[in-house]
Amino acid sequence: MSGGPATSSPQSESQHVDCLIVGAGLAGLTAARRLASTGSRVLLVDKAKSPGGRLATRRIGAARLDHGAQFFTVRSADFAAEVETWVEDGVVDVWAHGFSDDDGHPRYRAVEGMSSIAKYLAGRLQSELLRPPVHASRAEANAVMAGADTWSVTYAAGSREPDDAVAVILTPPVPQCVELLRSGVVATPHLDDLEKIDYHKVVAILVTLDRSPGLPEPGAIQQADDPTFTFVADNQAKGVSDAPAVTFHCALELSRQLWPLDDGNVLAHIHTDMRRYLGGAAVSEVQVKRWRYAGPVEPRPEPCLVVAESPGPLVIAGDGFAGAKVEGAFLSGLAAAEAVLNNRR
- pLDDT attached to residue 130: 60
Alpha helices (runs of H) in 11-114, residue ranges in sequence order: 26-36, 77-88
First to last CA, the chain: 36
In this prediction, residue 187 has a pLDDT band, given cuts at 50, 70 and 90, of confident
- pLDDT attached to residue 4: 44
> Quick one: what percent of the chain has pLDDT higher than 70?
94
- pLDDT attached to residue 126: 83
Detail the DSSP E strand segments found in the chain.
Answer: 16-22, 42-45, 57-60, 63-66, 92-96, 107-110, 135-136, 141-146, 151-155, 163-170, 199-209, 220-222, 229-234, 245-250, 283-296, 305-308, 314-316
| Span 319-327, average pLDDT | 85
In this prediction, residue 133 has a pLDDT band, given cuts at 50, 70 and 90, of low
What does the alpha-carbon distance between residue 273 and residue 340 come to, in Å, rounded to a whole number? Answer: 48
In this prediction, residue 2 has a pLDDT band, given cuts at 50, 70 and 90, of very low
| Span 170-181, average pLDDT | 96
Q: Tell me: the pLDDT tens digits for 220-275?
A: 999 999 999 999 999 999 999 999 999 999 999 999 999 999 999 999 999 999 99
Q: Tell me: the pLDDT tens digits for 13-70?
A: 678 899 999 999 999 999 999 999 999 999 999 999 889 999 999 999 999 999 999 9
Domains of the chain from N-terminus onward: 16-55+116-197+299-344 (3.50.50.60), 200-296 (3.90.660.10)
Q: Is the pLDDT of residue 166 over 90?
A: yes
